Amino acid sequence: MPRPVSPVHARPGAGLFVSLEGIDGSGKSTQAGRLAQALVAAGHDVIQTREPGGSPGAEDIRRLLVSGAPDRWSAETEILLFTAARRDHLEKTILPGLARGAVVITDRFADSTRVYQGCARADLRQTVDALHDRLIGRDPDLTLIIDMDPHTALTRGLARQSGEDRFEERGLAFQTALRDGFLALARANPQRCRVIDGMRAEAAVAADILAAITPFLPQGSPA
Ligand SMILES: Nc1ncnc2c1ncn2[C@@H]1O[C@H](COP(=O)(O)OP(=O)(O)OP(=O)(O)O)[C@@H](O)[C@H]1O
Ligand SMILES: [Mg+2]
């Protein structure tokens, strides 16, 4: 059982930092949009953003990361590019948003790097953690992990044909390892992580996400 949430409204005016995580095609972007819409409709100040990217400089770095041959970068270079993009995203978008008291919803954050590198290059996990500690130093207040069967998710993702397919061609075995990685991360971080069953209609997933975020919203705010 997850431990009780630590109420974020204990830090008034500090905003709320929320990430959506999960394997490729699990519905993160779909749900980030729905959540942002629902919170705006309820009167919240909302910033919807994504990784890699989320600030002009980080979007430039995103283009280097998501296009080209799968072996374009070594794992080490890739971690540095992700970290550089994340640092700019944090400086230019996330921290200013939180300082103004907004709900910042990011489609992926550091957990994606932890899990993807944990699966692809487990030997680099300490490096990932060290870079995060030294250069990012911040995790979301709430992380919603959309969990689903990799086969279904892969079919969804490939059907979409986004053109940003450098990461999506890695196959079922890798996606299965990622799913396990996200679930392990949720177990290791029960304070901030909630696992959401993504194998349902969009509206049902959205309702669960809204229920999960409600205790974290500033007291008295509608959700
Ligand atoms: N609950 C759902 N049921 C059926 N299809 C869905 C559901 N949620 C999203 N989809 C569809 O599945 C595809 C992938 O969804 P989405 O792009 O939101 O996933 P993602 O997690 O952001 O993927 P990626 O990791 O590749 O960015 C889209 O075509 C989307 O319309
Ligand atoms: Mg997406």
Question: Considering its fold, how many domains does the chain have in total?
Answer: 1
34 pLDDT band, cuts 50/70/90, is very high
pLDDT in tens, 35-91: 999 999 999 999 999 999 999 999 999 999 999 998 899 999 999 999 999 999 999
Are the C-beta atoms of residues 143 and 21 closer than 8 Å to each other? yes
Residue 146 Cα: closest atom of ligand 1:
21
Say if 86 falls within a structural domain: no
| Pocket lined around ligand 1, Cβ cut-off 6 Å | 22, 24-30, 156-157, 160, 168, 201-202, 205
Say if 67 falls within a structural domain: no
pLDDT in tens, 152-194: 988 886 666 666 655 556 788 999 999 999 999 999 999 999 9
H or E stretch covering 146 = strand 142-147
pLDDT in tens, 119-152: 989 999 999 999 999 999 999 999 999 999 999 9
Say if 210 falls within a structural domain: yes
Q: Separation of 122 CA from ligand 1 center, angstroms?
A: 27
Full-model pTM: 0.90
Are the C-beta atoms of residues 181 and 115 closer than 8 Å to each other? yes
Q: Separation of 31 CA from ligand 1 center, angstroms?
A: 8
Which residues are in the CB-under-5-Å shell of ion ligand 2? 28-29
Say if 127 falls within a structural domain: yes
Say if 78 falls within a structural domain: no
Say if 154 falls within a structural domain: yes
Nearest bound ligand to the CA of residue 115: 1
Q: Strand 46-50 vs strand 103-107: parallel, antiparallel, or unpaired?
A: parallel
CATH number of the domain bearing residue 112: 3.40.50.300
3-class DSSP assignment, residue 144: strand
Domain encompassing residue 187: 14-49+95-216
Are the C-beta atoms of residues 1 and 126 closer than 8 Å to each other? no
Say if 68 falls within a structural domain: no
HEC sequence for 12-61: CCCCEEEEEEECCCCCHHHHHHHHHHHHHHCCCCEEEEECCCCCHHHHHH
Nearest bound ligand to the CA of residue 22: 1
Say if 110 falls within a structural domain: yes
pLDDT in tens, 39-54: 999 999 999 999 999 9
Q: For residues 152 and 220, which has the higher predicted lDDT (pLDDT)? A: 152
Tokens of 131: 């870079």
Average of per-residue pLDDT values in the chain: 89
